[in-house]
Structure 1
Amino acid sequence: MSQAETPSPTAAGHTLRLLGSELRVLFRRWRTWAMLAALAAVPVVIGLAVRFAPGRPPSGRGPAFLDQITDNGLFAGVVGLVVCTPLFLPLTVSVVSGDAIAGEANLGTLRYLLAAPVGRVRLLAVKYLSSAVFCAAAALAVVLGGAAVGVVLFPLGKATLLSGTQIGAGDSFGRLLLMGAYVTVSLLGLAAIGLFASTLTSVPVGAMAGAAVLAVASQILGALDQLDWLHPWLFTDRWLGLADLLRDPISWDSFGQNVWLQLGYIALFGALAYGRFTTKDILA
């Protein structure tokens, strides 16, 4: 076949190959697997503490749903998500998204990426998509860690939902996966913030710290009753609404509101990242 007859790869094909390459780089790093292992260890530690502690955990003490673990071990994953969502999950997402562009700039590989026929917009989109995949992987690590320790150490009996209904093991695991999906959605806005921060500097630690500090600050503002007018606009406002998935029937209001809230932050900080990255002098 002559050169003129050779079919040229489509833009979508280029993007998929670039995304695949980016994901391979991300998941070949020891740092990535260390963070996922640390997240999975959180519900494992919780499960071990409950299993070998004397007596049943008192109701209303400790993290939400802690007293349910002894009845249905899969609730170790639920408690793990509740514990990890405010700090540990945002921290790991801040590391990955903050390193997306700044890490390439720090290593000197960003100019070589852009010298290839990649394009800044496509590279920015791929970097965000890889961060979004990590958000899902991080939430799944907590879910699987909790499910594993729950199955090994506890019975899979009936668990009582917030509405008083009791559910079995199959329904519990389905609810746990839904909660993992909820947490994934919750982290997507932060991933966009971290990506924008990553376009502002060539020092990855600065971008990582900036995104992580913003996540903590947003939650502090959300805890102040004097700022209740601001709460609906904070990207962390619906993070703990995942408990609504433990009602019968399931209340989807928080899920829908969280989706729209995170989409707003993705659009805002995606536009800011686009404006910054497309005008940044990189190849000089």
Structure 2
Amino acid sequence: MNNLFADMGQDKGGSKEVIIRKKEQKKGRILSGNLMVKACSILSPFLFLVLWEVLSKSDVIDKRLFSTPSLILKTMIQLLATGELFYHVWISVFRIILGFLLGAVPGVILGLSMGLFPLVRSFLKPIVSAAFPIPKLALMPLILIIFGLGEASKVVTIALGVFFLVLINTMAGVMNIEQIYVDVARNFGAGKKEFYLTVALPGALPVIFAGFKIAMGTALLLIVAAELSAARAGIGWMIWRAYDMFDIEKMFSGLIIMSFLGFIFSYCLDLIEKWVIPWKNRE
């Protein structure tokens, strides 16, 4: 009998060791898979650049139109050394951030109001639905007439594009909040301020940040278009001037900087989202 219990104890101990070993093997496979994914995401741009360089130098693609990564990098280094690139980037970033804030803040406030109050939503939704599909670049002549050729016209163009996207996402986020939270707040006698700050805003934050990210991409598109006309500086202006002079390397340098700015802004929004919505990362 004692031997039987001893064998059972050994079986249990052995089975535990097998389970632990399997868990460790599974964890190792997951880690190796994650490393492989990260390695592929890092290597793929470099492989693309190498392929581009080889095809350009072997005349498979026309160097007059696409140049080569090595020449583009050389041009970017020259632009950095002279300070010209920093100047244009600073001008564009200032316009983007200012236009984004001017569009996002009223978009959030009005979106919360439309999501919370059916009367406000029924009054403003037809106007938003009619104005949103209008291409913001089609409004550029009107914006230039009203705000002139200075900084205001570029900032307003970005703000208009950001405003509607943030407003619509904010309204959708509020309307998707479970009704029980609204009922609880109402039963506890919450005022309008409490509804905004403790119910609508926290509940809609994930969707609001999704709207921020989409709006930031739109802001980058609009800044280039806004700087193509009536501008004397900025990345969009630099790209357009390079096109006029058929300076392909400089034009591609501007395009690469715009893609880099898009990555930086998206990364910053992700960091802010993790800080503002810590509970989302625990789900």
TM-score (norm 1): 0.30
Higher relative contact order (CA 8 A, sep 6+): 1
Structure that is richer in helix per residue? 2
Q: Which one has the largest radius of gyration?
A: 2
